[in-house]
Structure 1
Amino acid sequence: MITRAVVVPQPPLLVPRLSPGPEPELAALREACLAAVGRLGPRWTAVGAAGKDQVIGPDAAGSFLGYGVDERVSLSADGVARALPLPALIAGWLRERAGAEAVEVRLVDRATPPEDCARKGSELTGDLLILGDGSNRHGPRSPGSEDERAPAFDEAVAAALAKADTRALLKVDPGLADELGAGGRVPWQVLAGVPGEWRAELLYSAAPFGVAYHVAVWERG
């Protein structure tokens, strides 16, 4: 049975060597992410979105070289180097900082409907690491260009994560999420499919660089 789950974003800027320098908002985000994963046990199941369903075992390792710096990470102590997608790289980086033994990464097709996301969530085991960003359309400097719908969208997501409101998460519209560049929709809805009652705590929710980032911890009620 899953006893706890952590929701974090996946910007490469979480990694200090990939960040532009001292930045209070970035430091606060990083601190929240590390505090959240510190509550997980020694072995994790990570869930992220990708172009197709895929499972990456803990015997893998990779590098952020594609993002500008050869920062190497591993999903376990015995990881073998290969090309890894961003969710797996962030999962590995967080695992190492938390001192966890291993993380298996489950990537879910980003076009998966909410009901299928929920079904996948009902089949998971182990402590969960849910990886995904909110809308990338906050403000005039946002990567996806400003959209006036973005603030309300991410306020609703943050409220659902803060209350462990699985029904609200499952109601997130896939089309709207895509239009707003919210890559976390699928992983959040996988989490929403995990059965049981939860206590929730929202550790961080902001859009410091035009992209919304949410950090939350869910534990069994």
Structure 2
Amino acid sequence: MDGFGSELACSLEGALQLVAKKMPAAVILDCRADGIPAPRLCTRLKQDKITRPAPVVALVAPQADDKHIALLQAGADVTFVRPLVPARLLAYLRKRVCSADRSGEYALAFDDIEMRPDSYRVRRRGQEIQLSSIEFHILRHLVDHRGQAFSREALIGVAWPTTIHVSLRTVDVHVSRMRKALRRIGCHALSRTIRSEGYSFGDEVGSCNALEPNGMPRPPN
């Protein structure tokens, strides 16, 4: 009814082949004990340059903290806790599809780094990475308040919905993934860990300004 088709895979290799062939709007992992090993499948998808762009959505059981962290470490873009509200999943899929198809999206720039909020992409000197929505929100908050330290609790309030319980360890996993992604485009040591405080972004990063699609500054409202 919402315009999405679906295809099922019942084995790890079958899922990998299907994603490589179809390049779906998203890969939805049904994380059940008797199903495909979800973290292993997620790792394989994110390691392959062909299947890496496909967003990975994981459906996990309540209180499954170990599974949740394992999926984040494997590269899952977002997790939904059962019982699932279908409207939330459909809203996420619509947003990702519209992000991929939209032209003329605006960008945020600081120094030679460009951030695109609609598609959660970060680019530097022609090199591009794509962060999960959580990691993008963390990065943007740290950049907007560069030089300030934020506790893990504060970052939870910034990046996660208030209805979701998030452990402090989960914040560390997302920050670690964000740092690894930034290193891939040559950004080293911009994000700092401050003992007993939390995380911050270095003062050397320039201001964050809105850009038009042609790269010119967007005029203030």
TM-score, scaled relative to structure 1: 0.26
Question: Higher relative contact order at CA 8 Å, sep ≥6: structure 1 or structure 2?
Answer: 1
**Higher Rg:** 2
Higher normalized strand content (fraction of residues)? 1
